[in-house]
Amino acid sequence: DIQYRLEALKKLNVSMDDDGASETVTVRGCSGKFDSPGEELYLGNAGTAMRPLTAAVAAAGRGTFVMDGNPRMRERPIQDLVDGLVQLGVDAKCTLGTGCPPVNLEAKGIPAGTVEISGSASSQFLTALLMAAPLCEGEGIRIKIKDELVSLPYVKM
């Protein structure tokens, strides 16, 4: 998962020091904007990279991005997150119509607003929105969970 995430960050032109030999990578901030006009980001089967990075690219990216993965990733749901981003005004779509990657994003930032998402499938959708929230424009976002939050211990962390 980490290798896919690091490769995606490199494609987003995020500056980092990674000699490949040690277990330490230093990632430098990008001042809230990815310096990439758009990119296809391949994340293998790394759901913990796909979901948060999809929201982060919507918030900090500018341009056309495709978030994709291997055949197994294309079976893993992300529609709840995409629906939440769309509620906030993001132009996002699961291109195969399955509710799974690939996800096409026309990234222009995430405007302030309210989003209502399901908590019944995965806490990763909520986590992704929470991680992207500081990058939002304006007064930020308000997140409402519309049903049971199944992964409450992860959210409490």
pLDDT tens digits for range 3-51? 999 999 999 999 999 887 878 999 998 999 999 999 999 999 999 999 9
pLDDT band at 147 (very low <50, low <70, confident <90, very high): confident
DSSP annotation of 100 reads S
pTM of the model: 0.92
Q: Is the peptide bond before 102 cis (omega within 30 degrees of 0)?
A: yes
Q: What is the pLDDT of residues 69-94, one digit of tens each?
A: 999 999 999 999 999 999 999 999 99
123, 117 contact by CB (below 8 A): no
Q: What is the pLDDT of residues 94-136, one digit of tens each?
A: 999 999 999 999 999 999 999 999 888 788 899 999 999 999 9
Longest dimension (CA), the chain: 46
12, 36 contact by CB (below 8 A): yes
Say what the pLDDT of residue 19 is. 80
Length of the chain measured in residues: 157
